[in-house]
C-alpha cells in the first residue's frame, strides 16, 4: 500500500478502540505514521486525545503496561509534563486489536492531548537546556519508580536495545557487502562498551528516545512524549540518543548536557566510548528501519543506507559520528 492507503487501513481500527474508552470521535487526524501510527482524536465535547497504535513495536502487553504506569506516576508527581494516560471503561491501560493487513495483533494506548508544537529541527538554546533538565528529572524520578505486576520494562542496555536483530546472522538483502562489514564492526564495538559499562552500573527506567520530535513546546513549558522505547537501561543512553539527532551542530550538545548537569552529574564515560555509543545509535536505527512497514520509510531506505555508509566512513576515519547527508 502507499502511505495514504496504509493510514486509511489503520484508521479503520480507531472507532472500535475508542468505543472501549467510551469516546465518540468528532474528528480523527493521523499525526504520525512511521514506526507506529498516531492519531489526534477530537471527541464530541471538543476534548483532544492522542491515540497510538503500535504497528512495529515488539513490546509485550506487560511492557506497554509498564510504560503507561510510569506515565500515570508522572502525572501524579508533576515533576515532568508528559502524556496523561486514560483507562478503558474496564479500567485497562491498553487495548489489544488485530490488524488484518499485517496479520498481527497490536496494542493501542490513549492519552490526553498536549497542546503545543514539536520543538523539531531548530531548537533554541533554552529548549535544549530544558530538554537536558527534563532528562535528568525523569532519571531522578525513575530511581524510585516501581511497577505493579505483571507490568515490567524490557532490558535495553545494548546497541539494538530490545528490538529484533535484523542484522545477524544473515546479511540483509538491502545492504551491500562493504556497508554490512562496517555495520557488524560497529555493532561489536558498541555492544562491548555497553557490556563493560553495565558491569559497574545499576540499570534504571529511561525514556531512550528523547529527540526533539518527542518534545512539545507548550505555552509555559516543555512536555516529553512517546515513551514507547522506554526500558531498563544506562543513564548515558538518554544522552547518547538525544545527542545523535543534533550531531549537525556540536554546540547544541553543550546546552543539552548543561541542562542535565544542572540537576545530575554527567555519567562518567570516556570520549572514545561515548562516540562509539553515538555511532551505535545509528546502527540501531538501521536494524529498526529494515523491519518497518511504513511506505514512506521503505521509499527512504536506500537514501538512509547511503548516508549510513558516509557516516560510518567518517567515524572510522576520525572517531567522530557526524550526520553527514548524501
Per-residue pLDDT reduced to its tens digit, 228-250 = 999 999 999 999 999 999 998 88
Name the residue with higher pLDDT: 69 or 325: 69
What's the confidence (pLDDT) of residue 250?
A: 83
Average pLDDT over residues 170-179: 97
Any idea which architecture 3-113 has in CATH? 2-Layer Sandwich (3.30)
HSE (side-chain half, CA atoms, 13 Å) at 132: 25
What's the confidence (pLDDT) of residue 255?
A: 97
Task: Write down the mean pLDDT value for the chain.
Answer: 96
Residue 184 corresponds to which cell in the numbers above? 557488524
Domain(s) of CATH 3.30.200.20: residues in the chain: 3-113
- N-to-C CA span, the chain: 27
Tell me: pLDDT of 325 over 90. no
Domain(s) of CATH 3.90.1200.10: residues in the chain: 125-318
Helix (H, G, I), strand (E, B) or coil at 317: helix
What's the confidence (pLDDT) of residue 58?
A: 78
What's the confidence (pLDDT) of residue 293?
A: 87
* Cis-peptide into 126, omega within 30 deg: no
Average pLDDT over residues 185-202: 97
Cα-based distances in Å from 282 to 147, 208, 226, 310, 324? 31, 14, 19, 12, 12
Tell me: pLDDT of 326 over 70. no
The pTM of the full predicted model, rounded to 2 decimals, is: 0.95
Average pLDDT over residues 294-318: 95
Could you tell me if 314 and 320 are in contact, meaning their C-beta atoms sit under 8 angstroms apart?
Answer: yes
Residues 6+ apart with CB under 8 A from 224: 80, 81, 82, 134, 138, 207, 210, 214, 215, 216
Instruction: Give per-residue pLDDT as tens, 256-271.
Output: 999 999 999 999 999 9
DSSP 34: S
DSSP 232: E
User: Which of the four pLDDT bands, split at 50, 70 and 90, describes residue 35?
Assistant: confident
Selected from 3.40.605.10, 3.40.50.1820, 3.30.1380.10, 3.90.1200.10, the CATH number assigned to the domain covering 125-318 reads 3.90.1200.10
Could you tell me if 217 and 119 are in contact, meaning their C-beta atoms sit under 8 angstroms apart?
Answer: yes
Tell me: pLDDT of 95 over 80. yes
Could you tell me if 174 and 301 are in contact, meaning their C-beta atoms sit under 8 angstroms apart?
Answer: yes
Residue 123 corresponds to which cell in the numbers above? 531548537
Instruction: Give per-residue pLDDT as tens, 41-69.
Output: 999 999 999 999 998 877 899 999 999 99
How many other CB atoms are there within 10 angstroms of residue 9's CB atom? Answer: 15
What's the confidence (pLDDT) of residue 2?
A: 94
Amino acid at each position: 500500500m502507499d502511505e495514504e492507503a496504509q493510514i486509511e487501513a489503520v484508521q479503520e481500527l480507531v472507532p472500535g478502540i475508542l468505543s472501549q474508552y467510551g469516546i465518540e470521535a468528532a474528528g480523527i487526524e493521523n499525526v504520525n505514521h512511521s514506526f507506529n501510527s498516531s492519531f489526534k482524536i477530537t471527541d464530541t465535547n471538543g476534548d483532544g486525545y492522542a491515540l497510538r497504535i503500535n504497528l512495529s513495536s515488539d513490546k509485550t502487553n506487560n511492557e506497554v503496561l509498564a510504560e503507561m504506569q510510569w506515565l500515570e506516576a508522572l502525572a501524579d508527581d508533576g515533576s515532568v509534563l508528559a502524556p496523561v494516560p486514560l483507562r478503558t471503561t474496564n479500567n485497562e491501560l491498553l487495548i489489544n486489536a488485530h490488524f488484518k493487513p499485517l496479520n498481527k495483533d497490536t496494542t493501542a494506548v490513549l492519552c490526553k492531548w498536549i497542546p503545543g508544537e514539536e520543538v523539531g529541527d531548530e531548537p533554541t538554546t533554552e529548549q535544549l537546556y530544558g530538554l537536558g533538565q527534563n532528562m535528568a528529572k525523569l532519571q531522578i524520578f525513575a530511581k524510585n519508580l516501581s511497577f505493579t505486576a505483571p507490568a515490567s520494562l524490557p532490558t535495553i542496555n545494548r546497541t539494538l536495545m530490545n528490538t529484533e536483530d535484523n542484522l545477524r546472522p544473515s546479511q540483509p538483502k538491502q545492504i551491500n557487502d562493504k556497508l554490512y562489514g562496517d555495520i557488524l564492526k560497529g555493532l561489536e564495538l558498541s555492544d562491548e562498551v555497553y557490556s563493560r559499562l553495565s558491569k559497574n552500573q545499576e540499570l534504571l527506567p529511561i525514556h531512550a528516545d528523547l529527540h526533539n520530535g518527542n518534545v512539545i513546546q507548550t505555552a509555559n513549558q516543555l512536555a516529553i512524549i512517546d515513551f514507547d522505547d522506554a526500558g531498563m537501561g544506562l543513564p548515558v543512553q538518554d544522552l547518547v540518543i538525544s545527542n545523535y539527532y543534533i550531531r549537525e551542530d556540536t554546540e547544541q550538545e553543550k546546552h543539552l548536557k548543561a541542562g542535565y548537569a544542572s540537576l545530575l552529574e554527567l555519567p562518567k564515560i570516556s570520549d572514545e566510548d561515548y562516540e562509539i555509543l553515538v555511532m551505535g545509535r545509528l546502527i540501531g536505527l538501521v536494524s529498526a528501519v529494515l523491519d518497518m512497514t511504513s511506505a514512506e520509510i521503505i521509499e527512504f531506505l536506500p537514501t538512509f543506507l547511503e548516508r549510513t555508509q558516509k557516516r560510518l566512513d567518517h567515524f572510522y576515519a576520525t572517531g567522530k559520528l557526524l550526520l553527514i547527508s548524501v
